Chains A and B, each alone.
Chain A
Amino acid sequence: MKTNWALGIAGGVLIVLASAHAWAQAGASETSAASNGTAVAASGGMTAKDIRKADRALRRKVYAAIVTHNKEINAGNISVIAKGGTVTLDGTVVDASQIEKVSEIAKGVPGVTSVTNRLTVKKPFGGQ
């Protein structure tokens, strides 16, 4: 029984990893231009490895901006995916007002050209 569960979890994680690449490209319809235009150029002779490295660095910068700009927001409930300056936000916040705040913080990070926000509200324990 326990082994089955472990396999289930492992399977789930694999699905997540496999779908990560495909999804980051989709969903650019609601994107909005960010204030800062110093995007990481994904075209100028960078290897796939360099691009991934830059994406990871940008992802870390967005998280760092969230936790330093607003201490109310739980960055542990938010998925940040960066791809060549395009940032996709998934996951949850505890209050509707925080959805837009996270977008604004992400847009303010140097290197972010657009933000797709898919955050939803999940009330903390007890519902209030």
Chain B
Amino acid sequence: MKLKWLAAAVLAATGSATYAQSSVTLYGVIDSGLLYQSANAANFQSKVNLGHVYALKDGGIYSSIWGLKGSEDIGGGYKVNFRLQGAFNSSNGKPGLSDTPGATALFNQQTTVGASGPFGTIDMGRQIVPMIYAMADTDVRNAQYFGSILTAWLGMNQAAGWQGLSTNGPIGALYDDNAIVYRSPKFYGASLALEYAPGGVAGQFQGGTRESAVLQYSNYGLNLAAVYYNGHDTNPFTQTAPTTIVTAPSTGLANNRFWYLGAQYTFHDFSVSTSYSIGRNPANSGHANFEMISGGLGYKFSPGFKVTSGFYYLKDRNHSSNQSNEFALGAEYNLSKTTLAYAQVGYVNNRGNMSQTITYGAPVPEGRSTTAAMAGIRHSF
């Protein structure tokens, strides 16, 4: 009898194991490099230069991540999908930031469950928002962590007061909590993504909500992207002292709007990209109203070696003295199918209270020029 039970248990265990193998994937990336930066600041809103730094830095291309994903075929062309993904700092092992100031989360990038089928896909939960994929597809630098449309867009957020304490930015977003994202199937290269994030604020229907729409076209070597993003009660947190966080009440105020138009063209081994965008606080344009222009040029020397460059310009439409331009140049070499070596240099000229960074998470002082270089390795598993 006991043996029978044991046999049944073994059967059940092997049965579930085969299931798990076919449907769940554990994956991750570790990306680490050496960073030199000529000027540094304690935060994004500081003019004080702390001097140059040599550091071991996480994320030269993108942050280190690990995750679990799976997909179950439920028949009729429909699938149920899930993904849990968290960023971590490979230099010190700490997990990435969540939407709450100062708080990290195990799976801070994505915790979604959803379905896909002939209708497209739907994913529910915290996730990387559709707009940033569209921006990456229209930036030769691919919205990487070192000198790209990502650091430029974050520069707009910093100028609008983002302190980098949470992933809740005042202009657009990289991640949204509570998000429901629908992606259409592609139709001759055209596709649409729609996002709605109910705020979950009691007594306030609009409180804390987010909505975005992304239209993309990808055919004939050409990527086109149009983005609209709108947030209510975005970034209601202000830190007054290192230990005090003041949370403003959610009132349903639409205070975060971002428009983006971008294009990228690939011809032979060359690719060129350009974009234009406007980010502002529609409830208080006098406080935040910015313009961003980008350009990129890339060349692939061989299937394993490419060089990309980008130019990113930011302007405060309220105060023309606040401007920033950045140049970034990077080389990537594939050592194997899973390991990439990279070297990148960047220069930023910030004027006024601009503090566009060269690389993600390394604040530069407002209103001065800074140079940075980083070389590192990125390994996927």
> In the complex, which residues of chain B have a beta carbon less than 8 angstroms from the beta carbon of A125?
62, 128, 132-133, 135-136, 142-143
CA–CA, A90 and B65, complex, Å: 29
* A48 located at the interface, meaning its Cβ lies under 8 Å from any Cβ of chain B in the complex: no
Q: Give residues of chain B (307-334) contacting chain A, Cβ–Cβ below 8 Å.
A: 311, 313, 325, 334
> In the complex, which residues of chain A have a beta carbon less than 8 angstroms from the beta carbon of B67?
128
* A54 located at the interface, meaning its Cβ lies under 8 Å from any Cβ of chain B in the complex: no
* A49 located at the interface, meaning its Cβ lies under 8 Å from any Cβ of chain B in the complex: no
> In the complex, which residues of chain B have a beta carbon less than 8 angstroms from the beta carbon of A96?
337
> In the complex, which residues of chain A have a beta carbon less than 8 angstroms from the beta carbon of B186?
67, 71
* B256 located at the interface, meaning its Cβ lies under 8 Å from any Cβ of chain A in the complex: no
CA–CA, A124 and B85, complex, Å: 15
* A44 located at the interface, meaning its Cβ lies under 8 Å from any Cβ of chain B in the complex: no
> In the complex, which residues of chain A have a beta carbon less than 8 angstroms from the beta carbon of B27?
128
> In the complex, which residues of chain A have a beta carbon less than 8 angstroms from the beta carbon of B109?
126
* A37 located at the interface, meaning its Cβ lies under 8 Å from any Cβ of chain B in the complex: no
> In the complex, which residues of chain B have a beta carbon less than 8 angstroms from the beta carbon of A127?
29, 31, 61-62, 65, 378, 380
CA–CA, A126 and B266, complex, Å: 21
CB-based contact B267/A77 at 8 Å: no
Known A12-B270, A78-B266, A120-B300; judge A128-B142 contact (CB<8 A). Answer: no
> In the complex, which residues of chain A have a beta carbon less than 8 angstroms from the beta carbon of B311?
5
Shortest CB-to-CB span from B123 to chain A, Å, is 14
Which stretch in B206-214, B215-223, B281-289, B356-364 binds the other chain?
Answer: B215-223
* B137 located at the interface, meaning its Cβ lies under 8 Å from any Cβ of chain A in the complex: yes
CB-based contact A126/B218 at 8 Å: no
CB-based contact B268/A9 at 8 Å: no
Q: Give residues of chain A (56-95) contacting chain B, Cβ–Cβ below 8 Å.
A: 60, 63-64, 67-68, 71, 74-81, 88, 90-92
Q: Give residues of chain B (75-105) contacting chain A, Cβ–Cβ below 8 Å.
A: 85
CB-based contact B266/A77 at 8 Å: yes
Shortest CB-to-CB span from B30 to chain A, Å, is 10
* A29 located at the interface, meaning its Cβ lies under 8 Å from any Cβ of chain B in the complex: no
Q: Give residues of chain B (135-185) contacting chain A, Cβ–Cβ below 8 Å.
A: 135-137, 142-143, 185
Shortest CB-to-CB span from A90 to chain B, Å, is 5
Known A127-B61, A128-B85; judge A75-B221 contact (CB<8 A). Answer: yes
Shortest CB-to-CB span from B330 to chain A, Å, is 13
> In the complex, which residues of chain A have a beta carbon less than 8 angstroms from the beta carbon of B185?
71
> In the complex, which residues of chain A have a beta carbon less than 8 angstroms from the beta carbon of B270?
12, 15-16
* B371 located at the interface, meaning its Cβ lies under 8 Å from any Cβ of chain A in the complex: no
CA–CA, A55 and B65, complex, Å: 44
* A53 located at the interface, meaning its Cβ lies under 8 Å from any Cβ of chain B in the complex: no
CB-based contact A76/B272 at 8 Å: no
> In the complex, which residues of chain A have a beta carbon less than 8 angstroms from the beta carbon of B223?
74, 76-77
* B200 located at the interface, meaning its Cβ lies under 8 Å from any Cβ of chain A in the complex: no
CB-based contact A67/B221 at 8 Å: no
Q: Closest residue of chain A to B191, judged by CB? A: A71
Q: Closest residue of chain B to A71, judged by CB? A: B186
* A43 located at the interface, meaning its Cβ lies under 8 Å from any Cβ of chain B in the complex: no
Known A20-B268, A71-B186, A125-B136; judge A76-B220 contact (CB<8 A). Answer: yes
* B231 located at the interface, meaning its Cβ lies under 8 Å from any Cβ of chain A in the complex: no
List of 6 A-B pairs having minimum Cβ-Cβ separation, nearest first: A76-B218, A76-B223, A125-B136, A74-B218, A127-B62, A91-B266
* Known interface pairs A75-B189, A79-B269, A125-B132; 9 further A-B residue pairs with C-beta atoms within 8 A, sorted by A's residue number: A5-B295, A9-B295, A12-B270, A76-B220, A77-B137, A79-B266, A91-B271, A125-B143, A127-B380
